[in-house]
Amino acid sequence: NAGVTQTPKFQVLKTGQSMTLQCAQDMNHNSMYWYRQDPGMGLRLIYYSASEGTTDKGEVPNGYNVSRLNKREFSLRLESAAPSQTSVYFCASSGTGTGAEEKLFFGSGTQLSVL
């Protein structure tokens, strides 16, 4: 009954450090997503993966890389963190289909601060 699990919940980095946000879902979903949420900006799509082995850029991909390790896991990597990447990050997954039954399941979020 876990749904979408994100780790860590909180992280503080110094400018230039790297880190990977982990995400796993146990619902056998094909599609997975990484969003960032900033005040007044709503949620913006960073990257998404429509299926295992494929990834595509979203609205704000610069400074990030992703890896769809398998069907369950979709990680987000910051190679050289910048203060502009201070945000709350949400992983999400959704089932199969053409979008007609789209329903995203969200993780609980990662609060990242880059000093």
Partner 1 sequence: AQSVTQLDSQVPVFEEAPVELRCNYSSSVSVYLFWYVQYPNQGLQLLLKYLSGSTLVKGINGFEAEFNKSQTSFHLRKPSVHISDTAEYFCAVIGNTDKLIFGTGTRLQVFP
List contacts with partner 1 (CB under 8 A): 4, 31, 33, 35, 40-45, 48, 50, 58-59, 90, 92, 94, 98-104, 106-109
Q: Which residue bears the tokens 């990977």?
A: 20
d(CA 28, CA 31): 9
| CB closer to partner 1 out of 13 and 90 | 90
Give, in degrees to the nearest 5, the angle at Cα 17 between 59 and 23.
Answer: 55
Q: Between 17 and 52, whose beta carbon lies closer to partner 1?
A: 52
CB of 106 to partner 1, least distance (A): 4
Distance of CA 23 to the CA centre of its chain: 7
Question: At its nearest, how many Å lie between partner 1 and the CB of residue 69?
Answer: 20
Q: Which is nearer to partner 1, 17 or 86 (CB)?
A: 86
Radius of gyration for the chain, computed over Cα atoms and rounded to the nearest angstrom: 13
